[in-house]
Amino acid sequence: MGMLIKIAFRNIFRNGRRTAFCVAAVGIAVFFIVFYQGFIGGFTRNINDVIQIFDLGHISVVSARFEAENEYSPVQYPVADGADWREMAASIEALPGVKAALPRIKSYATLQESVVKHAALWGLRLDDERALHNFNLTDRNDGLIEGRWYREGSNECVIGRRFAEKAGLSVGSRIPLKTVSAQFSDKMWSPEIVGIYNFDYLAYDDGVIIVDFDRLQRLLVLGNGTQQLLVYVDNENRSAALAEDVAAIVAAANTGGAAGAASEPDVVRQWQDSYFAAYMSAAKPMYTFIFLIFLIVASFLIINTITMIIHERIKEIGMMGSLGMTRAEIVRVFFLESFFLSVAGALAGVVLGGITTGILQFVPFRWADITGSAYASFPASNALYLTFSVGALAQGFFMGILVASIFTLLPSLKSAKVEPVEALRR
């Protein structure tokens, strides 16, 4: 076997151009496998981050009526029928593995003196939110680009960069607006703009006014209640296990701790329940299939090359047979030769793919630079970072070797059909 390996290895260098083409074909295929795995991983992470930061947290608690009408962001259906959110949050935060339970309010407003007539009011407890995550996933910061954040309980707000540009607003301006309270009464408000943010996420940069949670809570007459309660955990993969404990705490608050269940239990959702998070998870087998197509196409070049080698070296095959090599040994020589080409190509692809994804995990991959337009309403920020994974490199390497080697077995077997005497006559 050692002699067969030596013969196959030497044969690789007999035609440098042919070898280079085979190595390049497999290398390019493996590179795209590694690159697209990094891209899909980064894209999935970006979507998950947006869902967790802007929408559901790791676990989201809302009332059943709110869930049924959530497209309108109704404020008249608070969590646990208006129970004190602080007491619920304290009980939830006492659970092992929970980092924080944060209240949020989101309602719609009509702007009175602006070319932009409608916007969303987003009430946050800012210090708690900023301590947990970055709103700007591209620059990995809180997203503030001008002015400052509002003070707690103040009549102040911050607005998105695109919203400020469209409405002609700046720091120091006021936004006269009207919103509807939980009691269905009109509420007039004129907060001062003290800062401008850029989250690099169109859905928020384009039309969301961020205000203090306590101020908006009073304005909308929610008492001590909250429209939403978002729970953040230490390990996002444990959110399913913790969701049941969170639901029990909220149910107890809903019934005042008394026996019996609420007639309309609150809805507790995990971030994996999001449509887009579930879609990306379900699409993984499809991406694997696409990766295999890349390799199969590249493997055809090796098949063609090995077939040409057998045709060009037909007399050599005859001589190998006449010198006593069995057909099985001849097959092994050509198979080993193609195997070495596959290994070299896969290694080259892994190195190039690893360097590329390694760099792009620190350099954002921007949609607008590629498409020439802003990202639409898809729940992903304008830029993403590719993920670098040793597992993806190993998978690309072994997939490259396995697929290319299997597809070159057929032309290798063809060499066994050549009769030594007939081969020497050609």
pLDDT per position as a tens digit, 148-170: 999 998 999 999 999 999 999 99
Q: Would you state the pLDDT for residue 262?
A: 45
Give me the mean pLDDT over the 82-91 stretch.
93
The span from the CA of 7 to the CA of 67, in Å, is 70
Same domain, 105 and 79: yes
Task: Name residues whose C-beta falls within 8 Å of residue 226's C-beta, 6 or more positions apart in sequence.
Answer: 78, 79, 85, 103, 104, 105, 213, 217
Say which residue, 112 or 93, is predicted with more confidence.
93
Give me the mean pLDDT over the 222-231 stretch.
95
The helix or strand, by DSSP H or E, that contains position 7, with its residue range, turns out to be helix 2-12
Same domain, 173 and 36: no
Same domain, 70 and 34: no
Q: Is the pLDDT of residue 256 over 90?
A: no
Residues paired with 102 in a beta bridge: 230
> Which among 273, 298, 328 is the end of a domain?
273
Average pLDDT, the chain: 85
Phi-psi region of 256 (alpha: psi -120 to 50; beta: other; left: phi over 0): left
Same domain, 405 and 326: yes
pTM to 2 decimal places: 0.82
Same domain, 211 and 316: no
Give the rounded percent of residues in the chain with a pLDDT score beyond 90.
Answer: 45
Phi-psi region of 413 (alpha: psi -120 to 50; beta: other; left: phi over 0): alpha
Q: Are 141 and 197 in contact (CB under 8 A)?
A: no
Say which residue, 372 or 17, is predicted with more confidence.
17
**Domain count across the chain:** 2
Q: Is the pLDDT of residue 347 over 90?
A: yes
Note down the domain range covering 401. 2-49+281-425
Q: Letter for the amino acid at 201?
A: Y
CB atoms within 10 A of CB 421: 10
Mean pLDDT check: name the lowest of 57-71, 201-215, 250-264.
250-264
Give me the mean pLDDT over the 20-41 stretch.
85
Q: How confident is the model at residue 119 (pLDDT cuts 50, 70, 90)?
A: very high
Same domain, 130 and 246: yes
Give me the mean pLDDT over the 280-299 stretch.
77
Say which residue, 296 or 240, is predicted with more confidence.
240
Same domain, 350 and 384: yes
Q: Is the pLDDT of residue 310 over 80?
A: no
For the chain, give the number of residues: 426
The three-state DSSP-derived secondary structure of 358-377 is HHHCCCCEEHHHHHCCCCCC
> Which among 257, 273, 289 is the end of a domain?
273
Q: How confident is the model at residue 426 (pLDDT cuts 50, 70, 90)?
A: low
Q: How confident is the model at residue 424 (pLDDT cuts 50, 70, 90)?
A: low
Q: Would you state the pLDDT for residue 418?
A: 64
Q: Is 210 helix (H, G, I), strand (E, B) or coil?
A: strand
**DSSP per residue over 255-288, as a string?**
TTT-SS--SSPPEEEEGGGSHHHHHHHHTHHHHH
Same domain, 303 and 168: no
> Which among 213, 239, 273 is the end of a domain?
273
Q: Is the pLDDT of residue 371 over 70?
A: no
The span from the CA of 402 to the CA of 301, in Å, is 15
Q: Would you state the pLDDT for residue 417?
A: 67
Nearest to 267 by CA among 230, 234, 236, 233: 230
Say which residue, 206 or 258, is predicted with more confidence.
206
**Token couple for 93:** 């935060």
Q: Is the pLDDT of residue 260 over 50?
A: no
Same domain, 290 and 401: yes
Q: How confident is the model at residue 182 (pLDDT cuts 50, 70, 90)?
A: very high
